[in-house]
Structure 1
């Protein structure tokens, strides 16, 4: 078989599986208001078509696997930070990045609210244990920038603590870079109207209501406060060594593709040598007889 034909067959098979998953997700929203869905589609008339989107996504994910192999082979350390307003699409792009990667190499960190003990520690202390060792990629779904955003806006941090954070974070990140960590910071940006629409869709979808927290709802009330906090965060933490990159997130599909493509371009990865894999012969013992297990051990075959 021609090698190119084999690659094409693989791509078509992957596309079929991915499209099936996409249809499954759509069918899992029976309670989603049809009117809200119509409004959402009307607001995104120029979104990329499904087939083109999945072809590009799978192509980019194949490059992510090459990146993963390079990181593991050369014992590199990568940290990627995902920040942005609630419902801006951070989780969606993180899911697509990690979808085909080895979870022992690429892992997601999404820390809960700090405990009483953690609030008494050095602010960055609870993030340090999650930083990568050699050969690892860590994706922070929200990060130490909580202090510049939600903690500041909601009053969980004092003005003095916020000011101390702004003084410390550039040097903290320079320390990470000096230690050999590659740091990439993304901010997902959406409009006021887009966030409102996504919140309404979550409210009307029982499978997504868990994504809405009291903090999320407060973020609607305090939209302007979050905007001011974001602007100062950019002004004070967009240092040359660790710049921010803004992902326009109103169109989810384009945001995912653009972010993954940009991330791949930030890392000078190259193909790494691989040993050829050969499936060994199974050892066959003619005297061994496989035992029949009790039927109650088996999961019932309902489908």
Structure 2
């Protein structure tokens, strides 16, 4: 059975480092070879630093996949769905590679990131690097607990990983990332009850509002979707806060067996329903990046190098 990359379904960590690359044209054979080396390196480090829960994964950009692996493509892989409605925007900034590195020691993340950059030297340019961190008891910088609705236990794999629907890419995952910048100055001016109405949960004890009391413009209402059969539309979030005193926000990461679930949630947030109910959290945060990737099973890179 195809085994997923270690970082896809990993539990939370204290620290993360995200590396975003664009690759040099005409270097695909060398890049394929190096990705196999990097994949092996990440798995080695997951064993070596298991005591601090090290994990990582490599995602190949939706717009780059066919250049790098022209023989076959995941069935549902497609570009990031750029959306815009009034003053709400989800921009698309296609990238070739996304590498997530996480563990409970930031120095190890730095060490591994440095080695990976050396391995891709002369093959790819580092477009962006973001360092994330756990904030308090797994809260977003808005002060609310983040990831409460994440699937638990073995259900994480069921939600995040491709299975029989695309056997060639079994064990892989569709990845969507967005870097959100929060306007905490304006957010912090709100009364706690107003913040809670925007999120759909209580701030201190993290209790979800009842369906009756949950505003149709609340974040949880806009992302807590059901399909036609009444089943929850789920993704596995691997997001973490990031920032400094000049700019801070959330590095959002969705892992799922299909891109459709993320796309439905994003549309529900930005465009809303047919009655104008959109996610009012977007009054206080703005996505400044957006990209789609596929993270294949761990054996894929060596088998296609």
Report the TM-score, using the length of structure 1 for normalisation: 0.23
Report the TM-score, using the length of structure 2 for normalisation: 0.23
Larger strand percent: 2
Larger helix percent: 1
